[in-house]
């Protein structure tokens, strides 16, 4: 009886393996790991915002609209829960994308404002924060690319036969991914430039 049970377990293990169960598990874990890196880099960016806002405020306190916009966008982005459960909820995922996109836009406008303040651009602390922000945006782009690839591989496994049967049996659902429109908007790092804006041509 014991030998029969062992044979049945071995048969079940081989059956699950052959139907893609192990691949689904591995792909799911890769998606979660890739997502954690995306969240980590977004948090890194959020941590830079307060110092960036305070530095700009020191030279351009009257730019209150832009400063408030960045602060509110950061608060909104930070308020959204980013647990792995978000990956199974397209609506929550879209909300997360929207909030991060809003922060990206607000930061771009803040950096654009800095062009009007030569003393601010010359401030060593501000230049360092800009460099850190640029580096973080690049890391976000890389992390998002890896996440997109992980989700694509996972979703292909979930939809492919015979692993799709195993996926249905064990509740592996398709995961939402970053949209093309959002990818263009959010993966573009804010422009960091220390050059003076071009002067208008004579007569214009």
Write the CATH number for 64.
Answer: 1.20.1440.20
2 within some domain: no
Task: Identify whether 125 is part of a domain.
Answer: yes
d(C-alpha 96, C-alpha 82), whole Å: 8
Any domain includes 7 = no
pLDDT score of 82: 85
For the stretch 15-21, contacts whose Cβ atoms lie closer than 8 Å and that sit 24 or more positions apart, written own/partner, are: 16/166, 18/162, 19/162, 19/163, 19/165, 19/166, 20/157, 20/160, 20/162, 20/163, 20/166, 20/167, 21/163, 21/166, 21/170
Which pLDDT belongs to residue 131? 96
Question: Is position 198 within any domain?
Answer: no
Residue 27 lies in a domain: no
Does residue 110 sit within a domain?
A: yes
191 part of a folded domain:
no
Instruction: Return phi, psi of residue 53, to 5°.
Output: -65, -45
Q: Identify the pLDDT of residue 55.
A: 96
Q: Give the DSSP letter of residue 117.
A: -
Who's near 187: CB < 8 A, 6+ residues apart? 140, 141, 144, 145
pLDDT along the chain (204 residues), means of 10: 49 52 93 95 97 95 94 96 86 94 95 93 95 96 96 94 89 86 48 41 41
Residue 128 included in any domain = yes
Distance CA 47, CA 143 (A): 17
pLDDT number for residue 81: 85
Phi, psi of 201, rounded to the nearest 5 degrees? -70, 150
The domain tally of the chain equals 1
Whole domain around residue 116: which residue ranges? 39-186
């Amino acid at each position: 009886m014991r030998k029969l049970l062992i044979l049945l377990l071995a048969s079940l293990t081989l059956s699950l393996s052959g139907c893609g169960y192990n691949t689904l598990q591995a792909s799911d874990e890769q998606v979660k790991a890739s997502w954690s890196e995306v969240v980590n880099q977004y948090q890194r960016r959020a941590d830079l915002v307060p110092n960036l806002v305070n530095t700009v405020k020191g030279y351009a306190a009257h730019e209150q609209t832009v400063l408030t916009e960045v602060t509110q966008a950061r608060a909104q982005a930070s308020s959204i829960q980013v647990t792995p459960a978000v990956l199974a909820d397209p609506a929550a995922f879209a909300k997360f994308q929207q909030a991060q996109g809003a922060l990206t836009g607000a930061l771009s406008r803040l950096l654009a404002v800095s062009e009007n303040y030569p003393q601010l651009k010359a401030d060593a602390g501000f230049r360092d924060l800009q460099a850190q922000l640029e580096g973080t945006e690049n890391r976000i782009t890389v992390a998002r690319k890896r996440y997109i690839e992980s989700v694509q591989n996972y979703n292909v496994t979930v939809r492919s036969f015979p692993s799709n049967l195993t996926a249905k049996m064990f509740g592996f659902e398709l995961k939402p991914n970053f949209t093309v429109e959002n990818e263009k908007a959010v993966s573009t790092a804010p422009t960091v430039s220390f050059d003076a804006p071009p002067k208008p041509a004579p007569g214009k």
